Structure 1
């Protein structure tokens, strides 16, 4: 039986960030995307994620701070690299940070909560794509350093799931080689024996 949802999932691609243009999603579209993003498995209803919207001039300011941090860590940057850091969050009209917010729970491990954040990110991307926008998810070097996470608005105990770049996108996203699904699953064959 044909399904437009399956057809959509089997053809979903990430758009090149530099090709994401205005207009950005409207506030109504963002609200829809957020509603979809939160409809994910969340053992214990802990809500171990939150979202940060980077739009307008905030994207430029984040770039300035990231460029300054990169120079603090690496020394004077060549012009091309400095421009790359300056543009990190201003290449697309909207960037949504998906943030893992760890919660203390004796029964639910942190890794499971982080996976819930990954599912929230994927639902956010799929809903943006379904609304007609292009998306691309990245993390990058600033996600792995405390100073970078602080610039981006994360608390010390929070971690980056990913930054979803969103914008209008004309054309088809480029296809890339995909794994052969048939090689990635098998029936259970008993305990692992090396």
Structure 2
């Protein structure tokens, strides 16, 4: 197989559904290599407005049980299918990285820019995982925005989940999907008198 150019590698990026990610997951050196690439994002002010939480092994199942508790707290009549979906959310991929935005309020760098920097880490981590031979998917879901789950994960008041990056070995090749036409999205600005 011929080596791919950097642009071909970017064009080959696909999200692999978390249910299709299995063992093996990245070992610690591979994960650290991915994270080293992921942190090379634009970061106005050098605030490093992000951090990582690894969810692996039995912790994935324990988090699923916490999701079930919260689901039933929010809706005691939640259907069994909803409860089971929440129980299993983190059980498929062997490694899940929660990317946390650490926002510094009232800073000269607007919070929006800090949040975008953290979001860029999510995408960079997807690319790094694929470059290391793994599949990955960026998911959020209701739990990314829930204050109780944020507390369960140990987030502080100024922190937010921007994504759960599920990483593992793909059980199938992710199909290509329709992509937007970049030319149709481009316009040229011209000054008006």
Residue 183 of structure 1 is matched in structure 2 by 184
* 2:144 maps to 1:140: no
Q: Is the 8 A contact 2:20 2:172 kept in 1?
A: no
Deviation track 1:110-140 (CA, whole Å, cap 9, x = no partner) reads 0000000011111111011000000000110
Residue 21 of structure 2 is matched in structure 1 by 20
Q: CA deviation at 1:105?
A: 5.4
Residue 158 of structure 1 is matched in structure 2 by 159
Q: TM (normalized to structure 1)?
A: 0.92
More displaced 10-residue stretch of structure 1: 147-156 or 64-73: 147-156
Q: Is the 8 A contact 1:51 1:96 kept in 2?
A: yes
Gaps of 5+ in 1: none
Residue 45 to residue 155, structure 1, CA distance change in 2 (3 Å) = same
Residue 11 of structure 2 is matched in structure 1 by 10
C-alpha distance in structure 2 between counterparts of 1:138 and 1:18, whole Å:
12
**1:45-194 counterparts in 2 under 5 A?**
45-104=46-105, 106-190=107-191
RMSD of Structure 2 on Structure 1 (CA): 1.6
Q: Is the 8 A contact 1:125 1:135 kept in 2?
A: yes
Q: Is the 8 A contact 2:50 2:100 kept in 1?
A: yes
Q: TM (normalized to structure 2)?
A: 0.93
Describe the SS at the equivalent of 1:115. Answer: helix
Residue 186 to residue 159, structure 1, CA distance change in 2 (3 Å) = same
Q: CA deviation at 1:151?
A: 1.9
* Count of matched residue pairs: 190
C-alpha distance in structure 1 between counterparts of 2:157 and 2:105, whole Å:
15
Deviation track 1:72-105 (CA, whole Å, cap 9, x = no partner) reads 0011332221111111111211100000001245
More displaced 10-residue stretch of structure 1: 165-174 or 15-24: 165-174
More displaced 10-residue stretch of structure 1: 176-185 or 110-119: 176-185
C-alpha distance in structure 1 between counterparts of 2:171 and 2:9, whole Å:
17
Q: CA deviation at 1:170?
A: 4.2
C-alpha distance in structure 1 between counterparts of 2:91 and 2:154, whole Å:
16
Q: Is the 8 A contact 1:18 1:91 kept in 2?
A: yes
C-alpha distance in structure 2 between counterparts of 1:87 and 1:52, whole Å:
19
C-alpha distance in structure 2 between counterparts of 1:18 and 1:139, whole Å:
15
